[in-house]
Amino acid sequence: MTQCCGELLRSTDLTKTYSADNGSVPALGPTSLALGHGETLALVGPSGCGKSTLLLLLAGLEKPTAGEVLFKGQPLTRPHREIALVLQDYGLFPWKTVRRNVELGLEIRGESMDSGRLDSLLAELDITEKMDLYPQQLSGGQRQRVALARALVLNPSLLLLDEPFAALDTLTRERLQDLVAAAWRKHAFGMIVVTHNIQEAVRLGRSIAVMGSTPGRILALVANPRGCSEDYRGQADFFEMSRLVRAHLEQTA
Amino acid sequence: MRTWRSYLLGASLLLAFWQIGAWWAGESVLTGPATVLAELVSESETSRFWHHVGASAWRVIAALAASFATAVPVGLVLGSSRRADRFVRPVINLTYPVPKIVLLPLVLLIFGLGDTGKIVMLSLILFFQLLITTRDAATAVSRSAKYSLYSLGGTRRHLFVHVIWPSVLPAVFTALRIATGTVVAVLFFVESIGTQYGVGFYILDAWGRADVPQIFVGIVVLAIMGAVLYEIFDVLERVFCRWKQM
């Protein structure tokens, strides 16, 4: 298992306001957070609290109205090659086969991957047999596995997941959470997961940031050292942690 | 194979209704398909007939190619750049509703009575159909798809190659299929002026001579031309948008 050693990401007073026809809409209030190398953070909060906006800022895909993001000590102003993103709607391209989707990031970067490592990753995610299919021929869970493969194939230092399993049924969601936790233990990347699901936050976040809305901001930070560990789900401390996070969330409401 | 069978079935039904109509109204009012077919076979043995068909086919293909080459790139740019679209959209909104066919005299005055004027007229009509469809399809590319591409390290060029162009392509083929109907219809008008060749002229000439079977031959040829073009675009879409069949 990987442990935190040094800072991977830091955001300071990150703010985002969108301009609209009827004035400006504050999406995210001043938000500061830090993530260590090989650590995981879950951002949990009600819909519309700015979780996804925060994630896009941390991915370098949106520019903050104020504040800054430092990745490995350097200001982050655009997408970084060591940061991978997995979206709720998978972000797969229906006109590309699974293979071409998975290899697209490598192709864009002009990189290649050792076939043994690629095969091992595909086997790990159980999509070896799906490589010549198109995304629309797969189930939701299989599509999310492909999206994970496309991110992990880039060997990221930071994996960002935006409500990755929100559209899946409970069992598939839990299976994929376990898969992500196992991948985290094996590949040692930092990870930030956005979710509105308390148990998902507890399963995957070794720290859990509870967010409130209008404008979105972090209201509480809960340490959850057993996040991502094996056999955590179903244990008494898992439910205890879930109750604690729920209590924080209820306070925000 | 299934396509040909369905075409055969459709054509048989059409011919059956046509023949029943001819029996009901009488051959002097509505020429029957057997007479028209005999005339078509007879006409197809003359080089003059193929000259008419060749002239029309050239104008249609040239117009489709010219409008595709101009409208699709412009549509892609407008659909990808909000600033460019904001600037150009009012111009399109003002010019699109103008029925282009009324510009025929002006276009022929400017570009001449030859093929160029006719091809420009046809292209002008197709241009807006292709432009608006392409622009709207490019605008509809989801933000999520763009985030996805950029997060993989893609640039604007990658976005165009891997996201915008493939997502727009089915809409372009739909626009081209719709355009075939339009271009064949307008062909009749543009070939009614300043030419001795073309299926449009062939029909008008037959009309002038009150040769009803030849009028029908011209109509059938235009229908076949439209159907062939439609089918070509259908096949091209199946080849280039294979993922749509899945």
Full DSSP string of A33-66:
EEEETT-EEEEE--TTSSHHHHHHHHTTSS--SE
CB within 8 Å: A87 and B162 = no
Q: Does pLDDT of B191 surpass 60?
A: yes
Q: Does pLDDT of B230 surpass 90?
A: yes
Q: What is the mean pLDDT of residues B176-183?
A: 91
Tokens of A183: 């991948």
Best CA proximity match to A161, nearest among A4, A39, A41: A41
Sheet containing A158-162: order of strands = A83-86, A158-162, A190-195, A40-44, A207-212, A217-223
| Mean pLDDT of all residues belonging to chain B | 92
CB atoms within 10 A of CB A235: 12
- Among B148, B241, B246, the residue with its CB nearest the CB of A136 is B246
Q: pLDDT digits over A21-57, tens only?
A: 777 888 888 999 999 999 999 999 988 888 999 999 9
Test mutation, B143, B144, B148, chain A, max A CBs within 10 A: B148
Write out chain B residues lying below 8 Å of A104, CB-based: 152, 162
Q: What's the gap in Å between the CA of A79 and the closest CA on chain B?
A: 6
For chain A, 253 residues long, give each residue's pLDDT as a single digit of tens: 344 457 999 999 999 998 877 778 888 889 999 999 999 999 999 888 889 999 999 999 999 999 999 999 999 999 999 999 999 889 999 999 999 999 999 999 998 878 888 888 888 888 999 999 999 999 999 999 999 999 999 999 999 999 999 888 889 899 999 999 999 999 889 999 999 999 999 999 999 999 988 778 888 999 999 999 988 988 999 999 999 999 998 887 6
Q: What is the rounded distance in angstroms from the CA atom of residue B4 to the CA atom of residue B11? A: 10
What pLDDT shows up at residue B177? 93
Q: What's the gap in Å between the CA of B171 and the closest CA on chain A?
A: 14
CB within 8 Å: A105 and B153 = yes
**Which residue matches tokens 């293909």?**
B61
Q: What is the rounded distance in angstroms from the CA atom of residue A185 to the CA atom of residue A205? A: 13
- Among B142, B152, B166, the residue with its CB nearest the CB of A105 is B152
CB within 8 Å: A95 and B246 = no
Best CA proximity match to B198, nearest among B41, B48, B42, B53: B53
What pLDDT shows up at residue B2? 63
Q: What is the mean pLDDT of residues B205-222?
A: 93
Instruction: Tell me if residue A71 falls in helix, strand or coil.
Output: strand
Which residues 80-99 in chain A show a CB within 8 A of chain B?
81, 83-85, 87, 89, 91-96
Q: What's the gap in Å between the CA of A105 and the closest CA on chain B?
A: 5
Q: Does pLDDT of B184 surpass 50?
A: yes
Q: pLDDT digits over B29-69, tens only?
A: 889 999 999 999 999 999 999 999 999 999 999 999 999 99
Q: Give the residue on A whose Cα is nearest the Cα of B141.
A: A93
Write out chain A residues lying below 8 Å of B152, CB-based: 84, 104-105, 108-109, 150, 154
Q: What is the rounded distance in angstroms from the CA atom of residue B160 to the CA atom of residue A104? A: 14
What pLDDT shows up at residue A231? 86
What pLDDT shows up at residue B44? 94
- Among A92, A95, A108, the residue with its CB nearest the CB of B153 is A108
Q: Are the CB atoms for B103 and B121 separated by under 8 Å?
A: yes
Q: What is the mean pLDDT of residues B130-144?
A: 94
Angle at A49 between CA A47 and CA A53, to 5 degrees: 105
What pLDDT shows up at residue A2? 41
What pLDDT shows up at residue B1? 57
Would you give the DSSP letter of residue A233?
Answer: T
CB neighbour list of residue B62: distance below 8 Å, 6 or more residues apart: B115, B119, B123
**What percentage of chain B has pLDDT greater than the value 90?**
76
Write out chain B residues lying below 8 Å of A85, CB-based: 147-148, 151
Q: Within chain B, where are the H helices? A: 2-25, 33-43, 47-80, 82-95, 104-111, 115-139, 143-151, 156-159, 165-190, 199-208, 212-240
Write out chain B residues lying below 8 Å of A61, CB-based: 147, 150-151
What pLDDT shows up at residue A3? 43
Q: Does pLDDT of B224 surpass 50?
A: yes
